Amino acid sequence: MEDIANIRVYYNGEIIPNTHEGVSFVCECPFSFAIPYSTSFIELQNGLCVNIQSHISKRVSNILYRNPMQVFGGLIQFQIMSITDDASMQQMFYIYRQIRFHVPVIELYVEFEQQSGMGTVGDEVNVDELGDIDWEEENNDSEEEFEANYEVDDENDDGDLAGNPAVQNEADAIVSQHPFGVPSFMRTLDLEAMHAPEFPEYANTGEGNVAAENGEFSVGMEFGSRESVISAIKSYTISREVDYTMYESEPQTFYAKCKGYGAGCDCLIRASLIRKKACWEIRRYNGKHTCTMGTISQDHAKLDSDTIADAIRPLVEADPSIKVKSVIAEVQGRFNYIVTYRKAWLAKQKAVAKVFGDWEVSYQTLPVWLKAMTVKMPRSHVQIKTLPVYRESEEVQGVRVLHRVFWSFYPCIVAFRHCKPLVQVDGTHLYGKYKGALLVAVAQDGNQNIVPIAFAIVEGETADAWEFFLTNLWRYVVTIDGVGIISDRHTSIDAAIARSNGAWSPPRA
């Protein structure tokens, strides 16, 4: 672990220029991770984007390093140093190695800018030029080279494999801003490091856990972030059936008193950010509550949808379709409160977004991921169809919305050549925020295994949508005559086949 640097990142916060230590960074939700000294500037940018949980697609626009400098008497003052390239990265690591005994964490302040992308139908996204996209990354690799690269092995079928919306230039611009090269340190696993604390010197720092024998807070307790402090205080008040009033909530301080303070209860708590320890610490605590809530209630003011979302996250991970009434029952069993249907519903939506991402960002990043697929997996095929946006019968310039998307992975295209000359197509409805249908084509190999070969997200099982799917399936995947097609004979499929100019009719199919 000697070649690893501990990084703490601040964003959407504030740079305080004149403190007793020099410049300081503060924000509500700083996060930490570790990187090797060999990390490049581009790899750092990619890592920062991956770690940011955001509803919009972002790119790094500025990285500032809180540079420690020893001054008179051995004191340390911090100044700002811009990180702009590999050279400044190595300079930062050099400074860190020299002074890590006194300053064990590299502190960065990162500024982001919104990156234009593509939305779904009804969700507008601003870009300069948008149109239909047809992506196919070509190279000169032969099929033999492809199979060699992917270690195709036919000798032992039962054994384990060892070592397991823009126009074209707009899409290329997006990809060039976020190169898809995988950093070297992401190709290997250090199993011991995976379970070790990121900052050993703060191994006892809690993440929202009131780690006292009697369940009470105590002066000196440490927390990893401001959010974990607030979460712990909320959990405490809910479990004790008491409540508090927030008196001060600043980026560096959280101060709360019991609602009955001065009327029989003297409970108050104050937590502050300790920069030298890179953690939050309880600085003042008057002891436990000596009061109870004045009225009996089935709900609690601090039991909000965010708190419930954190509590039910494991349930949502196991079953994203969990019923709202099950959420209500879980909250009642855990907190002994009966929350409203609306609060439980909101909590479930937030938990789903935290676990799987929200709908908007998922659709917005779809073109980037598909472009990445064609870059990393050449000869894969993607086609995106978009629609214009109209306001009062006038087309809005620079705005398009997603209409249909077809894709097929090159390994699937190659695999189909070794499958039975038979294709089965079907569709299923999408029941998320944005309705539509997922169309899928599968084949079967000689061992009766199902091989998926093509996919599409469309507006529904319409004749136009099926024609879009079957046309691309024939053009990019099937490509030969004599292939049969199996379907449920949906009227839209029959209509699409009738429009195919004989591509899916005898004698060609």
pLDDT averaged per 10 residues, the chain (length 509): 78 83 84 84 82 61 88 74 89 86 88 58 38 48 42 39 37 38 46 45 40 67 81 79 74 80 78 81 80 62 84 88 91 86 90 83 81 86 89 82 92 93 93 88 93 94 94 90 89 90 78
Assign residue 74 the CATH number of its domain.
3.10.20.90
Residue 53 lies in a domain: yes
Tell me whether strands 484-486 and 31-36 are parallel, antiparallel or unpaired. Answer: unpaired
Q: What is the pLDDT of residue 505?
A: 81
Residue 69 lies in a domain: yes
d(CA 503, CA 509): 7
Are 453 and 384 in a shared domain? yes
**Residue type (1 letter), 16:** I
Residue 84 lies in a domain: yes
Are 147 and 92 in a shared domain? no
Q: What is the pLDDT of residue 471?
A: 93
Are 86 and 149 in a shared domain? no
Q: What is the pLDDT of residue 415?
A: 93
Are 80 and 137 in a shared domain? no
Of 62, 96, 115, which residue constitutes the final position of a domain? 115
Residue 341 lies in a domain: no
Q: What is the pLDDT of residue 297?
A: 59
Are 494 and 369 in a shared domain? yes
Of 65, 92, 115, which residue constitutes the final position of a domain? 115
Please count the structural domains in the chain: 2
Provide the CA 72 distance to its chain's centre, in angstroms: 45
Are 24 and 79 in a shared domain? yes
Residue 426 lies in a domain: yes
Residue 16 lies in a domain: yes
d(CA 427, CA 173): 33
Give me the domain span that covers residue 474: 125-155+364-498
Residue 479 lies in a domain: yes
Are 411 and 466 in a shared domain? yes
Are 104 and 151 in a shared domain? no
Environment class of residue 400 by beta-carbon count within 10 Å: exposed (0-12), middle (13-18) or buried (19+)?
buried
At 306-348, the pLDDT tens digits run: 888 888 988 988 888 899 999 999 888 888 888 899 999 999 9
Are 104 and 129 in a shared domain? no
Q: What is the pLDDT of residue 204?
A: 40
Of 115, 136, 170, which residue constitutes the final position of a domain? 115
Are 376 and 492 in a shared domain? yes
Dig out the tokens for 227 from the structure.
């959010």
**Which residue pairs, CB below 8 angstroms and at least 24 apart, start in 97-103?**
97/37, 99/68, 99/70, 102/68, 102/76, 103/68, 103/76
Dig out the tokens for 35 from the structure.
């990187």
Residue 250 lies in a domain: no
Are 144 and 75 in a shared domain? no
* In the block, residue with structure tokens 């991956």: 50
Q: What is the pLDDT of residue 212?
A: 44
Are 368 and 489 in a shared domain? yes
